[in-house]
Amino acid sequence: MNLPALSRRHCLALALPLPAATLLSACATASAPAAPALVELQAAGGRAVAVTVWRPRGAVRGRVLFSHGAASAPAKYTALIEPWVGAGWEVWAPLHVDSTEHPQTARYPGMASWAARLEDMRLLADHVGPGTYVAAGHSYGALVALVLGGATPLQAPAAGGAGLRDPRVRAVIAFSPPGPLRGLIDGAGYAGLAVPALIETGDLDVPPGAGPGDWVTHLAAYDAAAPGGERYALVLAGANHYFGGLICRLDLPGPRQDAALAAAVRVSTVFLQAFGAGDAAARARLGQALAADGPVRLQRK
């Protein structure tokens, strides 16, 4: 499987097995986020990079840099991003060149978008300042986030693979990252992940042309990571790549997988507090939520 073959597909009341009030206490101060703003940055050669910025109304707990799925756009992830912002997280998300909404997308066919995506994220990290952040993304964007956290791609534009890791990344949240991709990433590359990570998939998240059980390939980064580094695998029963059209592909007819997305939001918000903000109590809540079976499966290594 190669990246161009992934194309659009890889743009890429469930309850956790502990009292809801315990897990959700990290979100107790959540409030409706302000309307997002648009910031324009300039990449090398004068290429414009439009960035959507969500800022919480109250105190900022930390910052998330989010990379959208292939052919998608930041605005198609509000169902995921706005709860993070409501819980106090500032989220910055660039519009990558492979988006169907990008005015120059025709100039970046196939793998040409890979270098531009990495350039977008490093440019954005430099713009927001010297502090740490959480790298997050969905599908193609999840791969970008994992590389920023230490995974080593086979194609490393303008730098050696190890040089793509950003030391400012405190943790990674990867929704439905691809499995090994010929010419781009393999298991050994995923093994380079060097920070805490939450890697999510669903048991309906089957890659194109694959068998029903092949949703597990989305956990390749978790499987390859060395034990003891606070890596979490989240598997949601009944969830596909787009939560039924709630993220990335809002044009899909559904049925919408609202409960599964709510579970993903709950776990990822606690993960943000635990490893983005260094909250020991939130880290303990994740430990209490570990479960090897059930509709919300959370494992740690």
| Confidence band of 110 (pLDDT split at 50, 70, 90) | confident
**pLDDT value for 32:** 67
CA 300 to chain centre: 18
Q: Is-contact 12 140, C-beta < 8 A?
A: yes
The HSE-up count of residue 164 (CA atoms within 13 Å, CB side) is 31
Question: For 188-224, what is each residue's pLDDT tens digit?
Answer: 999 999 999 999 999 999 999 999 999 999 999 999 9
**pLDDT value for 155:** 77
Question: For 223-240, what is each residue's pLDDT tens digit?
Answer: 999 999 999 999 999 999
**pLDDT value for 3:** 31
Which comes out higher in pLDDT, residue 33 or 264? Answer: 264
Lowest mean pLDDT among 146-160, 177-191, 202-216, 284-298: 146-160
d(CA 226, CA 205): 24
Residue 229 structural domain: 3-300
Lowest mean pLDDT among 104-118, 137-151, 175-189: 104-118
Q: Please choose, from the candidates 142, 146, 49, 149, the residue with its C-alpha nearest in 3D space to the C-alpha of residue 104.
A: 49
**pLDDT value for 67:** 98
Judge whether residue 33 has pLDDT over 80: no
Which comes out higher in pLDDT, residue 231 or 10? Answer: 231
Judge whether residue 1 has pLDDT over 50: no
Judge whether residue 17 has pLDDT over 90: no
Judge whether residue 24 has pLDDT over 50: no
Number of domains in the chain: 1
Q: Which helix (H) or strand (E) holds 250?
A: none
Q: Is-contact 143 178, C-beta < 8 A?
A: yes
In single-letter form, the type of residue at position 23 comes to L
d(CA 114, CA 119): 9
d(CA 184, CA 108): 17
CATH code (residue 123): 3.40.50.1820
d(CA 136, CA 145): 5
Q: Dump the DSSP string for 196-220.
A: -EEEEEETT-PPTT--GGGGGGGGH
Average pLDDT for residues 112-140, to the nearest whole number? 95
How is residue 258 written in tokens?
């609202």
Average pLDDT of the chain is 89
Helices (H) and strands (E) counted in the chain, each on its own, are: 9, 9
d(CA 33, CA 11): 25
**pLDDT value for 158:** 56
How is residue 236 written in tokens?
């949601």
Judge whether residue 63 has pLDDT over 60: yes
How is residue 86 written in tokens?
């409501």
Number of residues written out for the chain: 301
Cα separations in angstroms, 124 against 64, 162, 278: 11, 19, 23
